[in-house]
Structure 1
Amino acid sequence: MEHMTTNEVELAAIKQIVATVEHAQNNELVDEFVGLFREDAIWTTGHGKRLFGRDTIAAFTRQVLPGAMSDTTVTFEVEHVLFLRPDVAAVKVRQVSRTGDEGYVGTPMYVLTKEEGAWKITAAQNTVVVDEG
């Protein structure tokens, strides 16, 4: 069995965070989603709403997530990871949301920090892609 390098282990853990975002959103799991954030996290939604702190993110998510995915699916794919330090990573994600034949592409940027051995979302900015060309 091959041994993974430290970088490969960290990349796998980061990809798991993004996969958990996808799972939580598709299954409307508010607590699972909110649990990914650091307590003092900041998040800007794809529509520009600025949220400060996990409690505010939780309150917003409890309002918008339940029922939002009834006929929608979303996928997230890690496009690029830039380690700013061994415990800080900027993660570029490709998000595709589909409702029937309609859909949109988003391009979230997550800043993750390693807190007590686990990666947490510390800052996030989602942006809807108007034209990929």
Structure 2
Amino acid sequence: MSMEIFGASPDGQADIDAIVALVAAVEHAQQNELPEAFMELFSRRDPVWTTAHGMRLSGWETISEFTHKVLPGAMKDSTASYEVVRILFVRPDVAAVNVHQRPIDRDGRALPGVPEGRPLYVLAKQDGEWKIAAAQNTQVKGD
């Protein structure tokens, strides 16, 4: 699957690379059950996270509390791979990022029959760093 980029400035490759790296950091934190590393990726400015099951979490502390409760142990049997498929630069410091999230076993093999995810991350560039300002994960019920 190739990545689509919309609205990037002519010298926007550094931002594209940083966004792809942020999504890779989400994957790493999730796969390795690292709640602190996961929370470092969020803006401290009232972020919003909606889980794949529709739970809306508002505010950094609320997201952190939830993450620290559910992430440890969540990946013991399976995990997911993350691939950036589309970046839309809404403006130079705001990007909407579509991700293809594939369930995999601990050895990296696809898990047939397990719903994939289609996260959308709204990222904001703060003090030169991209952070998750809002996110919505949606499970795919057939593709």
Is the TM value for this pair above 0.5? yes
In the TM superposition, 1:27-66 aligns within 5 A as 27-39=32-44, 40-66=46-72
Which one of 11, 16, 19 corresponds to residue 11 of structure 1? 16
The offset of 1:98, in angstroms, is 2.7
The offset of 1:28, in angstroms, is 0.3
The answer for the alignment partner of 1:119 in structure 2 is 130
The offset of 1:97, in angstroms, is 1.6
The offset of 1:84, in angstroms, is 0.3
User: Which 4+ stretches in 1 moved above 4 angstroms?
Assistant: 99-102
RMSD: 1.3
Contact 2:115 / 2:142 at 8 angstroms: preserved in 1? Answer: no
The answer for the alignment partner of 2:6 in structure 1 is none
The offset of 1:12, in angstroms, is 0.3
Gaps of 5+ in 1: none
Matched residues, number: 128
Residue 84 of structure 2 is aligned to residue 78 of structure 1: yes
The offset of 1:53, in angstroms, is 0.8
Percent identical among aligned pairs is 51
The offset of 1:70, in angstroms, is 1.0
The answer for the alignment partner of 2:7 in structure 1 is none
**Structure 1: how far apart are the matches of 2:131 and 2:123?**
5
Residue by residue over 1:75-124, the C-alpha shift from the partner in whole angstroms, topping out at 9 and shown as x without a partner, is 00000000000000000000012348453200000000000000000000
The offset of 1:6, in angstroms, is 2.5
In the TM superposition, 1:68-107 aligns within 5 A as 68-99=74-105, 101-102=111-112, 103-107=114-118
Deviates more, 1:102-111 or 1:91-100: 91-100
Bigger relative contact order, structure 1 or 2 (CA pairs below 8 A, ≥6 apart): 2
**Structure 2: how far apart are the matches of 1:71 and 1:44?**
23
The answer for the alignment partner of 2:26 in structure 1 is 21
**Structure 2: how far apart are the matches of 1:50 and 1:73?**
22
